A = this chain, B = another copy of it.
Amino acid sequence: MSAIDWLPAAVRAAAIERTLKAGQTLFRRGNRTSGLYEIVEGQVRLVRVNRTGREAVLHVATAGDTMAEASLFSASYHCDAIAATDAVVRLYPKAAILAEFDRNPKAARKFATVLARQVMTLRTRLEQRNIRAARDRVRHYLAINADADGRTVALSGTLKDVASELGLTHEALYRTLADMAADGEIERRRGAIRVLKAAI
C-alpha cells in the first residue's frame, strides 16, 4: 500500500518534493523532525552512526516506501538518512499530518491500520528468514503469497527482486525454482508460478 492510498488529501496537498544527489543527507540524528517521507525514486539509507564512527544500516527505503513514521511522534530523529542513489523524496509535514489526525479520527485510524499491517508483514518476513533451506523458504513465500485459489502466485517485479526479498542470491533462487519445477512441485509461467502439489 502506497502513501497515496491512505494519506488524506489534505495532507497530500501539503507535500513537498525534494531531489537528492547520491550521498546527500536528508536528515541527521538530533535534527528536529519535519515529518514523514515517501520515496518517489531511488533509494535512501537510514543509518545509525556510532560514536566510534561505525555505521549500522537500519533500513534501506526504496521507491514507494514510506520512511520515518516514528518521527511523527518524536521531537528529533534517531538516525541519519542518506541518499544511496540519486533520489526524489516527498515530505509530508508533521504538523499537517498530526493536525489532520486530530481533526479527523478516521485518518488516524487509517494510519494505525497501515502500521499494524506493516508490523504483520514484517514479522512474517522475519519468520521466513528463520527458515534455512532455500527450498523451504521458497515454499513459505509461495504459501504466503498464493492467490485466492491457493495455487497461483503472481510475481511482483523481477525474480531478482523476489530473491532479495527472500534473502537469497538470485542464482540460488533460480536453481531452487528449476529444481522444484523439475520435481513437478511447481510450474513456471510468465510473471507467475503455479503450485502443483504440496510437499511435506
Residue ranges of A at the interface with B (Cβ–Cβ < 8 Å)? 48, 50-60, 69-70, 72-73, 101-102, 105, 108-109, 111-113, 115-120, 122-127, 129-130, 139-140, 143-144, 146, 149-151, 167, 195, 197-199
Chain B hits for A111, CB < 8 A: 112
Total copies of this chain within the assembly: 2
Looking at the complex, which one of B50, B58, B119, B150 makes contact with A70 (CB distance below 8 Å)? B119
| CB-based contact A123/B59 at 8 Å | yes
- Among residues of B, the one whose C-beta sits closest to the C-beta of A54 is B198
3 closest A-B pairs by beta carbon, nearest first, are: A51-B150, A122-B122, A56-B143
| CB-based contact A149/B72 at 8 Å | no
- Among residues of B, the one whose C-beta sits closest to the C-beta of A70 is B116
| CB-based contact B112/A57 at 8 Å | no
Chain B hits for A125, CB < 8 A: 126
